[in-house]
Structure 1
């Protein structure tokens, strides 16, 4: 009986991905509608649905204060949803199929390949087991380090410190960004120990599982890295450096953010300001008080996101730098796009362009809808829309003020950002028939 159910569930490889996420969101909404999940006993259906979408899509945007509105039961549900979203619904389905049947059908493997961006079917089988192991190890290490911080240096009772350590470790590795403090982690901006642990945990989750495991096996031999790993690692380094110095320069003298801090604390705050916008969503400063230049660079980083097959959102670092190499090749008049002495196929480049254009369309559409529904400043609207689509979770404080239509818009953007524009495009592409002929070529004027 169970085998037949699993086999039927895994029979639609691409379309099952958004359907599975939607199912978990629905389940999470029902769990959060239970009166025991609400501290004041007052049930708000839209808040429950918004939180379920944000948690499953590992975003972290909220319309209510996680620390005070939800009970420990509600917070545990949020934590469970972020774990399921981070691990990937298709990875869970594959593990269940392996346990029930002892092997996996080809269609099911293709479904997981879509979710994890594995390059071969064999990798798709192995990667789901590695995801579970890497999440367990990384979150456990972070939980121990954070528990010690809250217990010994924070003065919390051990059970409460353990809960805070486990919760923040989960939220950091999954890049979800929910917090048990009303100001996120702004009250810890002067604590370099906690900031460094959180940033490293965020990076471990956002770099992507294929890159994570390749680095574990051969971090000392970068000349053997795949093109994807090189794009991701070096791309992370470039973007981190750019955002680190941008945040430091633009906010150095801002008294509302880091202007009054000592130099070493400014550096730790800038490190968090460079890491968190990539998808984590923990507020290290009040983004309603930052400089306009910081807002612009943060929006750009949220749009790019992190690594493929990780817990981050955005168009992904590899996509962004593939487009950069494409632009470089075109500007030089070269027919081939090469990265690390490897030619990039036309199909991969078309996918990168498709992902970027669909992302732009989603962000522009969401911004226009919110601009029509509200009178809020355009920069705040654009900031929160990018945060929703990039599954980041940072906000300039306008999300709770949005009307129901605006909150529903952000929910759709979070769903599209987590499921992935390319996954949606692949589902639509299944209906397209392959042409067995070529039409006459013509070159319209470009530019």
Structure 2
């Protein structure tokens, strides 16, 4: 009987690889919670409360960055390393990590592991899995080491930190940045480095690269090694959409941040024009997925918080370390709207016609995300007295796994923190699970019902 039950569970997870991904993330969060409760993980040697440990572990594994305790003050070096390990595992992808280890140890992958790895990395087919796994590992290692080394050198020779301290801080912030986690070793994030372009720019570059998604990074690397295949026309539509939309959102975010906060003495107003542009760009890059901040978040205008919610909800690229509904989802919806306004029967973008099921999936993901954020915001408003705009900002930040906060996270009651934990988990895994489930459920209908058009608008 036990053998039958085991085979039954294996069949369920093999048929729905996304379930395996969700279960693996939940298991790692549970293990991380237990580890963070150990006395050795706290700075004063005490046992961290289960809720604080669960919130921190979820935020780290889901690469969000929201915290209820100060990372540098509450956690010991061992605790910080635990958080860093959870960030790396969560950002890299738990099933991707497991598949890579199996590939390195045995040199082969079983079908079930190939399916789960393909679901998490958005591989085009099972034949791609081995190449994708090695490519993801290579991209991660190269970017994190390069940015970590650059930051370490800057901290050593620009701020006179010891070699060990500079290396530790540089590597920590590099891993946190590339995985779009937003965890920092300072209570003020990186506001102390707001005027140092040699700190803010490398972190922004790491965040942007991680937010593009591994499929885009791997395609860019492949085409870089093929001299004959250069230019946008030879890239896949996914890559082109991701790059163009990311660039557009970065520009729009920078312009709006500078326009709205240019004269605010508590944010950009204290900088010269060059530093204003740099910090505006940095804020634009962070607000879509990362969570580092170089300006006081609590001093932002309500208008800035509102458009930031839009950027956080959109997020970054698919199959990467970013959250949100993803830039391709946003692009597909924008293309559908443009086609409808023009009266065209098909949605087209960059010389390609979009498949109807892609439009349905994009609409489903976006509407469910909106509904989830609204429901969570209403629930949070019933348990906290914080301003509505701050609560909405917190909810969108958790769903988009961004990690930016106006400073109310630690003051939210227990019920509210549990809501945020659930939002972070769904925000990290919801799009993967939902789209995979929709794809598996897709089937051809052998008949068509009579057509009728209800009144719209």
Is the shorter-chain TM-score for this pair beyond 0.5, marking a shared fold?
yes
Instruction: Find the counterpart in structure 1 of residue 433 from structure 2.
Output: 423
The match for 1:440 is 450
- Aligned-CA RMSD value: 2.0
Counterpart in the other structure of 1:175? 180
Shift of 1:347: 1.1
Question: Contact 2:37–2:50 at 8 Å: present in 1 too?
Answer: yes
Q: Is the Cα contact below 8 Å between 1:13 and 1:110 reproduced in 2?
A: yes
Q: 1:26 to 1:425 in 2, by over 3 A?
A: same
- Counterpart of 2:222 in structure 1 is 217
- Asked whether 1:94 is paired with 2:99, we answer yes
For 1:139 and 1:426, the matched residues in 2 are separated by 29
Query: For residue 278 of structure 1, what is the aligned residue in structure 2?
Result: 288
- Whether 1:83 aligns to 2:93 is no
Q: Distance in 2 between matches of 1:328 and 1:298?
A: 24
Partner of 2:375: 365
Which segment drifts farther, 375-384 or 329-338? 329-338
Correspondence for 1:131: 136
Quickly say closer, same or farther: Cα 1:425–1:131, change in 2 above 3 A: closer
Distance (whole Å) between structure 2 residues aligned to residue 374 and residue 292 of structure 1: 19
Cα distance per residue 1:285-313 (max 9 Å; x no partner): 11110112211111111000011111100
The 8 Å contact of residues 263 and 269 in structure 2, kept in 1 or not, is answered as yes
The residue number in structure 2 matching 1:301 is 311
SS at match of 2:297: coil
Which residue number corresponds to residue 25 of structure 2? Answer: 21
Matched residues, number: 443
Partner of 1:115: 120
3-state SS of paired residue (1:420): helix
In the alignment, the residues of structure 1 paired with residue 317 and residue 412 of structure 2 have an alpha-carbon distance, to the nearest angstrom, of 30
Equivalent residues in 2 for 1:329-368, closer than 5 Å: 329-368=339-378
CA drift at 1:165 = 0.6
8 Å contact kept, 2:119–2:432:
no
Single out whichever of 92-101 and 209-218 deviates more from structure 2. 92-101
Contact 2:312 2:400 in 1 (8 A): yes
CA, structure 1 residues 319+168, in 2 after alignment: closer, same or farther (shift >3 Å)?
same
Residue from 140, 149, 152 that aligns with 2:145: 140
Tell me, yes or no, if the aligned pair for 1:86 and 1:174 is still in contact at 8 Å. Answer: yes
CA contact 1:358–1:421 (8 Å) conserved in 2: no
Cα distance in 1 between the residues matched to 2:218 and 2:108: 23
Which residue in 1 is equivalent to 2:247? 237
Q: After superposition, where does 1:381-396 map in structure 2 within 5 Å?
A: 381-396=391-406
Residue 362 of structure 1: CA displacement? Answer: 1.3
Mean Cα deviation higher: 167-176 or 42-51: 42-51
Contact 2:254 2:281 (C-alpha < 8 Å) held by counterparts = yes
**Which residue does 2:421 correspond to in 1?**
411
* 1:37 lines up with 2:47 in the alignment: no
User: Which residue does the alignment assign to 2:78?
Assistant: 73
- Judge conservation of contact 1:351–1:422 (CA < 8 Å) in 2: no
| Structure 1: gaps spanning 5 or more residues | none
Per the TM alignment, residue 338 of structure 1 is displaced from its structure 2 partner at its CA by 1.2
Residue by residue over 1:259-295, the C-alpha shift from the partner in whole angstroms, topping out at 9 and shown as x without a partner, is 0211111121111111000111001111110112211
Higher alpha-carbon deviation: 246-255 or 214-223 = 214-223
CA contact (8 A) 1:236 1:317 kept: yes
Aligned to 1:207: 212
Distance in 2, Cα, partners of 1:167 & 1:445: 55
Q: Secondary structure at the match of 2:353?
A: strand
Given that residues 387 and 395 in structure 1 are in contact (C-alpha distance below 8 angstroms), is that contact kept between their aligned partners in structure 2? yes
CA separation in 2, counterparts of 1:284 and 1:190?
9
Residues in 1 aligned to 2:397 and 2:316: alpha-carbon distance in whole angstroms: 13
- Is 1:402 the counterpart of 2:407? The answer is no
TM-score by length of 1: 0.95
Deviation at 1:349, TM superposition (A): 1.2
